[in-house]
Amino acid sequence: MELPPIPPFKTKTVEPVYFNTKEERSQRISQAKYNLFNLHSDWVTIDLITDSGTGAMSEQQWSEIMIGDESYAGSESYFKLQRTVEDLMGFKLIAPTHQGRAAENVLFSATVKEGDVIPGNAHFDTTKGHIEFRKAIALDCTIKEAFQTNVEHPFKGNIDLEKLESVFVEYGKEKIPFIVITVTCNTVGGQPVSLKNIQQTKALAAKYQIPVYMDIARYAENAYFIKRRDEDFKDWSIKRIVLEMFRDVEVVWMSAKKDGLVNIGGFIALNNKALFEKLCQFTIIYEGYVTYGGMSGRAMGALAVGLREACEIHYLHDRVSQVKYLGDKLQNLGIPIQTPVGGHAIYINALKFFPHVPQGQYPAQLLAVELYIEAGIRGVEIGTLLADRDPETGKERYPEMELLRLAIPRRVYSLQHMDYIAVALSHIYAKAKEYKSGFKIIRQAPILRHFTVELERI
Ligand SMILES: Cc1ncc(COP(=O)(O)O)c(C=O)c1O
């Protein structure tokens, strides 16, 4: 019998899990206007709202917290981070920011103007928000399999090259400042992009003289999937795959709160000096001086260590196996999830889970609310609320999928917590057909409404 995978770490510090009754949770979610972002964390038992900034740091990272250099300019912690990024990713120039969307703000301030078109596999919501805020167009060129939740495809994050080429032909390099490959692709379920698709996208973009940018929040998980799911790269090290993913890429940006294994931070990395100088202007206006850009020295030091730890094979194996463990359990219970499961989360298909709840009544939000009431588990809607209205017409946009995302924080929960989640979902699934209605909106912000939206049961 083969030895089972085990977490490559032991526990040194623990933090409490909170328990409440169903009655208390029903009351609290109603007071929170059915928006799970409004819940206090001690009203939540298992928090799967995000894998972003919620991971546990290692003892090596905590020691960096003690020795961080907090100099305003020229901090040694910055250079430690710069050397790590250069070694792991091949980029010499690095602009830290306080998190991923801040990197988008700095980068797009320098590169996106009104009327531009930015294609990609499927942009993350803050990326889309920053593009649309500048009155540019964010276009998703996702492969169709990404939206077929029960179709097995090893790389559902891939770009549809035909769609991409038709966008290149229609708009040309004058209108397209760059294209974005997001690895892994959060919006379609944390699904990876294959190395071949990355290489083909780069070749196509080069033909049309369009630079390739990458959103690399989960670059290590993407590299792991390439190693596991593509025979041609099974003997490659994670580092070698990462370097090949980033070869000939003009700019990468990262929310370091994911595969950086830190609680806050982000950066932009590149080799183009002229563009870097342009970015620095915006870093200074929005984030801080260029050698800290909104991060403390200690956080940059911890990030330098985290970037390396995220590429360790035992870590990645444990990480991805845990997510798969939950996915397998749910599949065995017949619960409709996006398969194969991605790197950081389980996505439940709410249109299939609640077949009688109309899409216009936010069925994925309904599932999020019911799961919270059932067991204190907090997930997040990735559906119509998140898709938001069309910025031109103001009309509701209905995405192809209505998903509840259960994001698993890194190095935080055990397999027993996964068992608890599976049982809670099975309770709701057993009576799912009885649900006939969801929610209506009573208040919403002009953009990124899902964070603050207020709802009422229909
Ligand atoms: C793919 C991707 N890009 C960008 C971001 C934005 O990063 P942050 O939350 O650090 O601002 C996220 C956050 O979840 C993400 O998943």
pLDDT of residue 450: 92
Catalytic site includes residue 125: yes
Mutate which of 101, 128, 187, 303 for ligand 1? The one with the most ligand atoms within 8 Å of its CB, which is: 101
Domains in the chain (CATH in brackets) are: 22-51+313-457 (3.90.1150.10), 59-309 (3.40.640.10)
pLDDT of residue 71: 97
pLDDT of residue 154: 95
pLDDT digits (tens, 9 = 90+) for 18-51: 999 999 999 999 999 999 999 999 999 999 999 9
Question: Does the pLDDT of residue 391 top 90, yes or no?
Answer: no
**Amino acid in position 365:** Q
pLDDT digits (tens, 9 = 90+) for 311-338: 999 999 999 999 999 999 999 999 999 8
Catalytic site includes residue 450: yes
Ligand 1 mean position to 124 CA, how many Å?
A: 7
Q: What is the mean pLDDT of residues 286-302?
A: 98
pLDDT of residue 249: 98
Residues in contact with 222: Cβ distance below 8 Å, sequence separation at least 6, in sequence order: 157, 183, 184, 192, 193, 245, 343
Dihedral angle of Cα 430, 434, 436, 442, to the nearest 10 degrees: -70
Question: Does the pLDDT of residue 431 top 90, yes or no?
Answer: yes
Least confident among 40-49, 201-210, 288-297, 382-391: 382-391
Question: Does the pLDDT of residue 221 top 80, yes or no?
Answer: yes
By percentage, how much of the chain surpasses pLDDT 70?
100
pLDDT digits (tens, 9 = 90+) for 82-121: 999 999 999 999 999 999 999 999 999 999 999 999 999 9
Q: Where are the alpha helices (DSSP H) in 287-376?
A: 297-309, 313-332, 350-353, 363-375
pLDDT of residue 438: 97
Residue nearest to atom 4 of ligand 1 (CA): 100
Question: Does the pLDDT of residue 370 top 90, yes or no?
Answer: yes
Ligand 1 mean position to 184 CA, how many Å?
A: 11
Which atom from ligand 1 is nearest to the alpha carbon of 51?
A: 14
- Structure tokens of 322? 């845990």
Q: What is the mean pLDDT of residues 228-241?
A: 97
**Amino acid in position 66:** M
Question: Does the pLDDT of residue 150 top 80, yes or no?
Answer: no
Question: Does the pLDDT of residue 402 top 80, yes or no?
Answer: yes
11/13 Cα distance (integer angstroms)? 6
Catalytic site includes residue 269: no
Averaged confidence pLDDT in the chain: 96
Contact between 3 and 407 under an 8 Å Cβ cutoff? The reply is no
pLDDT of residue 149: 75
Catalytic site includes residue 292: no
pLDDT of residue 224: 97
Question: Does the pLDDT of residue 400 top 90, yes or no?
Answer: no
Q: What is the mean pLDDT of residues 369-382?
A: 97
pLDDT of residue 147: 84
Q: What is the mean pLDDT of residues 239-245?
A: 98
pLDDT of residue 388: 86
Q: What is the mean pLDDT of residues 438-442?
A: 96
Which atom from ligand 1 is nearest to the alpha carbon of 264?
A: 10
pLDDT of residue 317: 95
Q: What is the mean pLDDT of residues 65-93?
A: 98
Question: Does the pLDDT of residue 410 top 90, yes or no?
Answer: yes
Extended beta strands in 77-229, E state: 93-97, 117-120, 137-140, 179-182, 212-215
pLDDT of residue 300: 98
Which atom from ligand 1 is nearest to the alpha carbon of 182?
A: 1
Split at pLDDT 50, 70, 90, the class of 373 is very high
201/26 Cα distance (integer angstroms)? 48
pLDDT of residue 390: 86
pLDDT of residue 151: 85
Catalytic site includes residue 72: yes
pTM for this structure? 0.93
Catalytic site includes residue 113: no
Using CB distances shorter than 6 Å, the residues near ligand 1 are: 52, 99-101, 124, 126-127, 182, 186, 215, 217, 255, 257, 266
Q: What is the mean pLDDT of residues 374-397?
A: 92
Q: Report the phi/psi class of residue 249: left, alpha or beta, with left for phi > 0 and alpha for psi in -120 to 50.
A: beta
Q: What is the mean pLDDT of residues 431-440?
A: 96
Q: Residue 109 is inside which H or E element, if any?
A: helix 100-111
Q: 429-457 as b/e, with b when 16 or more CB fall inside 10 Å?
A: beebeebeebbeeeebeeebbbeebebee
Split at pLDDT 50, 70, 90, the class of 187 is confident
Going from the C-alpha of 356 to that of each of 56, 268, 379, 404, the distances in angstroms are 40, 45, 21, 16
Question: Does the pLDDT of residue 434 top 80, yes or no?
Answer: yes
Ligand 1 mean position to 265 CA, how many Å?
A: 11
